[in-house]
Structure 1
Amino acid sequence: MTSKFLAELSNDYERLFETEIGYDVIIYTGEEPNVKEIHAHSNILCIRSQYFRSAFSNEWAEKRDGKFIFRKPNISPQLFNIILRFIYCGNIELEKLQAPLLELLLKRDDLNLDEVEIWENLLKWCFVHQNMENDPTKWSGENITNIKRELHKFIPLIRFYDIEPADFFYKVYCYKDILPQDLIHDLLEFHIVPNMKSKANLPPSRKSNQIDSTLIGSRHIPLFASWIDKKDSSHYNKKDTPYNFNLLYRSSRDGIDTRSFHRNCDNKGATIYIVKIKNSTQLVGGYNPLDWNGGLWKTTADSFLFNFTDKQNVSTAKVSYVNIQDHAVYCYHNWGPTIGNLYCDSNNRWYYKIYSEGERYPNIGIPTRFEVEDYEVFQVVRK
Structure 2
Amino acid sequence: MAFKFFDKLSQDFSELLNDKKEYNVIIEVGRKENKKSFTAHSVFLRYRSPYFDKELENVTANKNHIKTIINQRTSAQIFEIILKYIYSGNVNIENIDTKTIYELMFNANELELKELSRKLESYLIETKASWLRTHFSLVYRSIFVSNEFKDLKKFYHDIIVKYPNLIFESGDFIPLQRTELISILKRDDLNVEEIKIWDYVLKWGITQNPTLLADSREWSKENFKALKITLRQCLPLIRFFHIPGEVILEKVKPYKKILGEQLWDDIIQHSISPNKSVTSLILPARIVSNSELPSRIVSTPEFPSRVNGLFSSVVNKEHVAELSPSRVTKPFSNIINKEHAAELCSWIDRKSTFYSLENSPYEFRLILQGSRDGFHPKTFWNMCNGYAGTIVVAKVAGTDEIVGGYNPLAWDISKGGRDMKTNDSFIFSLKNGNIQNSILSQVKYSNKALHYSNKQDIYGPWFGDSEFIMKSDVSDFTRDKRCQCNFIHSPLLGNLVFNFNYEKPIRKTNLLFSIVDYEVFKVIKKQLPNCSIR
Which TM class, normalised by the smaller chain length?
A: 0.3 to 0.5
Considering fraction of residues, name the structure with more strand: 1
Highest Rg: 1 or 2? Answer: 2
Q: TM-score, normalization: structure 1?
A: 0.44
